Amino acid sequence: MKPIRYLFSIPMMLSGLSLFAAKELPAYMDESLPMEQRVEDALSRMTTQEKINMIHAQGKFSSPGVPRLGIPDLWMSDGPHGVRAEINWNDWGYSGRTNDSITAFPALTALAATWNPTLSFEYGNALGEEALYREKDVMLGPGVNIYRTPLNGRNFEYMGEDPYLASVLVVPYIKGMQQNGVGASVKHFALNNQELWRGHINVNLSDRALHEIYLPAFKSAVIDGDSWTIMGAYNKIRGQHACHNEMLLNKILKENWGYKGVVMTDWGGAHDTREAALYGLDLEMGSYTNGLTSESEFTTDDYYMARPYLEMLEKGELPMSTLDDKARRMLRLNFLTAMKRNKPLGSVASPEHYAVAEQIGNEAIVLLKNSPVAKGGNPLLPLSPALKSILVVGDNATRDLMKGGGSSELKVKDNVTPLAGLRALYGDKVKYAQGYRAGKPMYSHVEQIPASVQDSLRAEAVAMAKNADVVIMVGGLNKNHQQDCEAGDRESYALPFGQPEFIEALQAANPNLIVLLLSGNAVEMPWADKVPAVAQAWYLGSMAGKSIANVVSGKVNPSGKLPSMLYSKILVEI
């Protein structure tokens, strides 16, 4: 991707400048002038076709600029926790570059558990710097959909169930990112609270629930955070798709909240040209795909806001004012990002970014229980320096939890796993047994692990547990389908892969048991009364192992707060 940008975007801007070198600089290129004056000047110079080109994708993660005027293309990237590896121009395969490894920051549920707006700003700033280095103009995040059920496969991308908490934390994240000239795209607007059937489910609710529960974080992002873009949701709201919903986009967002930014679709979220033209959509991305894996024979010229829109304009079936409004918004975004000249250079996977990720992890871990094993004894945490043998068990102790999950999948430069973090601190005292196997991270289906394999792994771990001073079980969920993963929801509230039975067996073998849950969702814990120490450790990204070791050792006092409720059980499962 990067060579394309160098060959076309920057030289075109420079050639555009050279055309005007001998005469007065056009108003739209003069950054000293008011934004609206620049926008109107550029708009007046554009043809209808150039305006149409600007409001729909030209590839998987790019939309066109105006080459004739030296206005560069826009480049976007998933996601809320890090800059995704480069995707091919127009298919979902990875491009195979060797220079697109990055920092994975903790998932947004972990950030929410810190209750710390200052860390949220540092998170957004660090991610913005990494996006700059990777030459991205818009980052597709943060997500602020409300956590309404622990079965939602995408809860890990959001900021919990409390509208006020999400409203407070989203603003500094946006400001931190956008101070770098990288636009945030707050998503998914709105009511995308389940993944199953997300493309067609119709959400009906009261006005009170809409405004008191589901919209406050978006409202704060717009009014207080000045988010330059917003991404629509896949679902319908009161019978009309969210990406061109008259009530949501025209009435609430643009009229009531006075939004001047860009509304983009989620990939494949547009469904109707007339509604897209009239009801608030500004940028169409990924149409005729599922946003993850599927392809289409249609080209970007066939998008709803491409040739079909142009034809309706030419026939007088739609007013030209609709197109001009969309082009204005795209020009504002371009001037704030791709065309902005005085931006930092950015950086990636730096010590400073690793420090931010580690600090968020330190403050995110929630200590749920810490009781003495024997009456009158000391709690298990922090670990005593006198311990001579520590057994770490569990697939998540060594698993790359940045793989899978959907569009938030990341390619990291460094990954300090929980096992690596504990070994760095305790050395040869630490032994490891896998205990269970979770399978490969895949979309739409699940790898089935033979029972004989699971039984063998469990037996080995339980046998080793009998001889350890303390056992640390690193379990939870992962980014596989039907767990914490886009495009599917959990089918059960219980821990998968036989973990409940495994925990019971470990406790019977050694009562000095600590359970660390790595997940973006709450899980059922029928074993909690028997286990002396339990902590919710979320998905903590590149520096997960360091943060976990900091808390387990007592170097850091666990201070995380739950951003959503832990239910003992749920009565209805999918």
Report the distance separating Cα 35 and Cα 31, nearest Å. Answer: 8
CA dihedral 231, 234, 236, 237 (to 10 degrees): -30
List pLDDT tens digits, range 357-409.
999 999 999 999 999 999 999 999 999 999 999 999 999 999 999 999 999 99
pLDDT tens for 260-290 read: 999 999 999 999 999 999 999 999 999 998 8
Is 120 among the domain residues? yes
| Sheet with 236-237, side-by-side order of all strands | 202-203, 236-237, 240-241
Q: Does a structural domain hold residue 250? A: yes
**371 and 320 in a common domain:** no
Same domain, 326 and 369: no
Report the candidate in 157, 231, 535 with the shortest Cα–Cα distance to residue 383: 535
At residue 18, the pLDDT reads: 52
User: How far is the C-alpha of 464 from the C-alpha of 563, rounded, in Å?
Assistant: 36
Q: Which residues are catalytic?
A: 266
How many domains would you assign to the chain?
Answer: 2
E-strand stretches of 453-508:
470-476
What stretches of 20-99 show up as alpha helix (H) in DSSP?
35-45, 48-54
CA separation for the pair 440, 250 (Å, rounded): 43
**Residue 78: CATH number of its domain:** 3.20.20.300
At residue 444, the pLDDT reads 80
In a shared domain, residues 408 and 514: yes
pLDDT tens by residue, the chain, 574 residues: 444 444 444 445 555 555 555 468 999 999 999 999 999 999 999 999 999 999 999 999 999 999 999 999 999 999 899 999 999 998 999 999 999 999 999 999 999 999 999 999 999 999 999 999 999 999 999 999 999 999 999 999 999 999 999 999 999 999 999 999 999 999 999 999 999 999 999 999 999 999 999 999 999 999 999 999 999 999 999 999 999 999 999 999 999 999 999 999 999 999 999 999 999 999 999 999 888 888 888 899 999 999 999 999 999 999 999 999 999 999 999 999 999 999 999 999 999 999 999 999 999 999 999 999 999 999 999 999 999 999 999 999 999 999 999 999 999 999 999 999 999 999 999 999 999 999 998 878 899 999 999 999 999 999 999 999 999 999 999 999 999 999 999 999 999 999 999 999 999 999 999 999 999 999 999 999 999 999 999 999 999 999 999 999 999 999 999 999 999 988 765 4
Q: At what angle do helices 307-314 and 320-336 cross, to 10 degrees?
A: 140
In 233-271 the beta strands, taken as DSSP E runs, fall at 236-237, 240-241, 262-264
**Residue 147 domain-assigned (yes or no):** yes
Of 316, 336, 356, the residue at which a domain comes to its end is 336
Give residue-wise pLDDT tens across range 399-412. Answer: 999 999 999 999 99
* Cα separation, 214 vs 208, whole angstroms: 10
Structural tokens at position 68: 């004739």
Domain end among 336, 354, 385: 336
Residue 77 resides in a domain: yes
CATH of the domain at 385: 3.40.50.1700
> In this structure, which amino acid lies at residue 250?
N
Q: Are residues 427 and 279 in the same domain?
A: no
Is 435 inside any structural domain? yes
Are 471 and 503 in contact, with CB atoms under 8 Å apart? no
**Tokens linked to 108:** 């947004």
Residue 334: name the closest of 54, 104, 541 by CA.
Answer: 54
d(CA 530, CA 527): 6
CB 518 within 8 A of CB 537: yes
Alpha-carbon separation of residue 206 from 187, 218, 393, 394, 446 (angstroms): 21, 17, 47, 44, 37
DSSP H helical ranges for 78-116 = 108-114
With beta carbons less than 8 A apart as the criterion, state whether 542 and 561 touch.
no
- Structure-block tokens of residue 33: 């002038």
Residues 259 and 408 in one domain: no
Question: Which residue type is seen at 372?
Answer: P
Asked if residue 416 and residue 332 are part of one domain, the reply reads: no
Identify whether residues 329 and 373 lie together within a single domain. Answer: no
pLDDT recorded at residue 289: 86
At 489, list the tokens.
């929801």
Residue 356 domain-assigned? no
Name the pTM for this structure: 0.94
The 8-class DSSP code of residue 70 comes to T
Query: Is 357 within the bounds of a domain?
Result: no
CA of 345: how far to CAs of 105, 135, 155, 198, 521, in Å? Answer: 20, 9, 33, 38, 36
The one-letter code for the residue type at 16 is G
Are both 371 and 328 inside the same structural domain? no
Contact of 89 with 60, CB cutoff 8 Å: yes
Whether residue 81 sits in one domain with residue 206: yes
Q: Which domain holds residue 528?
A: 365-553
Q: 328 and 370: one domain?
A: no
- Cβ proximity of 184 and 141 under 8 Å: yes
| Contact call for residues 368 and 121 (beta carbons, < 8 A) | no
**Is residue 409 situated within a structural domain?**
yes
- Angle at CA of residue 225, ends 219 and 228, nearest 5°: 95
Q: Is the domain of 411 the same as that of 327?
A: no
Specify whether 328 is located in the same domain as 390.
Answer: no
Q: Which two tokens stand for residue 97?
A: 């570059």
d(CA 106, CA 360): 7
